[in-house]
Amino acid sequence: MTLDKAKRGSEIQILSISDPHSRSLLMRMGISEGSSVICQEKLPRGPVVLRCKRQEIAVGRKLAQCIHVK
């Protein structure tokens, strides 16, 4: 399943990030493969907001489609 299909409020684990450039950007924000995050919010036709530790990070839908989660 990809991140854009995650349900709001669910705890998810990042399995893989297919785009190498996006992988490095997310690693700078503290999100990497194997990280556990919470899908805080899904805005209609907008970003997916993730909560990782004490910060919230908005991930665009196109990028969310490249992130495989469980």
pLDDT tens across 9-57, in order?
999 999 999 989 989 999 998 899 999 999 999 998 899 999 998 999 9
Check which CATH number belongs to the domain holding 34 and give it.
2.30.30.90
pTM > 0.95:
no
Q: How many CB atoms lie within 10 A of CB 69?
A: 21
Distance of CA 50 to the CA centre of its chain: 6
Residue 22: domain span: 3-69
Report the domain count for the chain: 1
